[in-house]
């Protein structure tokens, strides 16, 4: 992909971001703003964020194949890139069986969705896939520009890079909280994702592949699994927890900010990463 995504991405849901705060994210040094959850197929809000900024790349993390018609998504893609060339990436994912009543044949459904996007003229080099397991990661390698997994560890990043090989994008997302007290940080993590996502089947299966046990995943998570999925601590520790993904082979680490003020958390993270990059 010839779009410059930057080393840091910001993951924000529609209610957490506005065109004005997107400008703040851009000023903080983020290369990409990922519109999180399942944005509508018309992608109108992504377009508003692009209109408000000047260099920031906007991506979807991710369009849900069960709820967003592929042809409407493709038409939206073409509309956006005509106005903002080189600044939009289409992230696509299969969602979760706990949410979608019609869940069936997720791999085949995703392949069919990618076929429909391609037929509608969406270039595969502008698409990334929310791939967790090896099979989906191979699909990301073979059919798209790369993978954008969530709720993963640096060890997952290392394994995914082995599957993807060189030249494909790997854009893991990691939760972050500007909180130095471990017990308070873990409590906040358990009350939100990552703790509240541990019972989701595809996340839990992926974490088991990484060596976490049923005990780790029970309830809202053991200290071990929360510490693996949530970066927290003083600024230096927070930055190291995130840049471990870059050391493991990621092209970018995406930041899922926790706390009362997500934009403030994103600023803290950016400052901390910049500080350790100059050490």
For 273, the token pair is 């990463």
For 110, the token pair is 């995703």
Stated as kind and residue range, the H or E segment containing 10 is strand 8-12
Domain residue limits at 154: 8-179+233-277
| pLDDT over 90 at 103, yes or no | no
Look at residue 120 in the predicted model and tell me its pLDDT.
98
Stated as kind and residue range, the H or E segment containing 180 is none
Look at residue 95 in the predicted model and tell me its pLDDT.
78
Average pLDDT, the chain: 94
Q: What is the CA radius of gyration of the chain?
A: 18
Segment 228-236 shows an average pLDDT of 95
The answer to whether residue 81 is domain-embedded is yes
| pLDDT over 90 at 2, yes or no | no
Segment 222-231 shows an average pLDDT of 98
What DSSP state is assigned to residue 7? S
Look at residue 265 in the predicted model and tell me its pLDDT.
95
The answer to whether residue 79 is domain-embedded is yes
Burial (0-12, 13-18, 19+ Cβ within 10 Å), 258? buried
Which CATH number goes with the domain that contains 86?
3.20.20.30
The answer to whether residue 200 is domain-embedded is no
Q: Are 195 and 91 in contact (CB under 8 A)?
A: no
**Segment 136-181, tens digit of pLDDT:** 999 999 999 999 999 999 999 999 999 999 999 999 999 999 999 9
The answer to whether residue 228 is domain-embedded is no
Number of domains the chain contains: 1
Look at residue 105 in the predicted model and tell me its pLDDT.
84
Segment 56-65 shows an average pLDDT of 96
**From CA 243, how far away is CA 180, in angstroms rounded?**
18
| pLDDT over 90 at 279, yes or no | no
Look at residue 243 in the predicted model and tell me its pLDDT.
96
Look at residue 205 in the predicted model and tell me its pLDDT.
95
pLDDT band at 267 (very low <50, low <70, confident <90, very high): very high
Of all residues in the chain, the percent with pLDDT exceeding 70 is 96
- Cα three-residue angle 210-203-241, rounded to 5 degrees: 60
The answer to whether residue 217 is domain-embedded is no
The answer to whether residue 2 is domain-embedded is no
The answer to whether residue 145 is domain-embedded is yes
The answer to whether residue 85 is domain-embedded is yes
**From CA 70, how far away is CA 102, in angstroms rounded?**
17
């Amino acid at each position: 992909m010839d779009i410059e995504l930057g080393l840091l991405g910001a993951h924000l849901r529609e209610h957490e971001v506005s065109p004005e705060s997107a400008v703040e994210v851009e000023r903080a040094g983020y290369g990409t703003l990922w519109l999180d959850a399942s944005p509508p197929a018309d992608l109108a809000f992504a377009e508003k964020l692009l209109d408000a900024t000047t260099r920031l790349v906007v991506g979807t993390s991710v369009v849900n194949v069960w709820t967003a018609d592929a042809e409407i998504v493709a038409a939206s893609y073409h509309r956006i890139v005509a106005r903002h060339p080189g600044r939009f990436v289409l992230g696509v994912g299969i969602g979760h069986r706990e949410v979608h009543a019609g869940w069936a044949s997720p791999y085949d459904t995703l392949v069919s969705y990618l076929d429909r996007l391609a037929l509608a003229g969406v270039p595969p080099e502008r698409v990334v896939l929310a791939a967790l397991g090896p099979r989906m990661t191979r699909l990301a390698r073979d059919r798209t520009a790369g993978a954008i997994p969530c709720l993963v560890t640096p060890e997952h990043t290392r394994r995914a890079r082995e599957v993807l090989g060189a030249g494909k994008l790997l854009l893991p997302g990691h939760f972050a909280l500007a909180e130095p007290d471990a017990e308070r940080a873990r409590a906040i993590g358990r009350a939100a994702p990552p703790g509240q996502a541990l019972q989701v089947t595809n996340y839990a299966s992926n974490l088991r592949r990484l060596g976490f046990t049923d005990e780790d995943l029970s309830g809202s998570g053991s200290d071990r699994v929360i510490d693996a999925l949530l970066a927290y601590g003083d600024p230096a520790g927070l930055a190291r927890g995130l840049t471990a993904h870059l050391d493991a082979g990621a092209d970018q680490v995406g930041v899922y900010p926790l706390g009362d003020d997500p934009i403030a958390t994103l600023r803290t993270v950016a400052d901390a990463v910049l500080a350790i990059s100059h050490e």
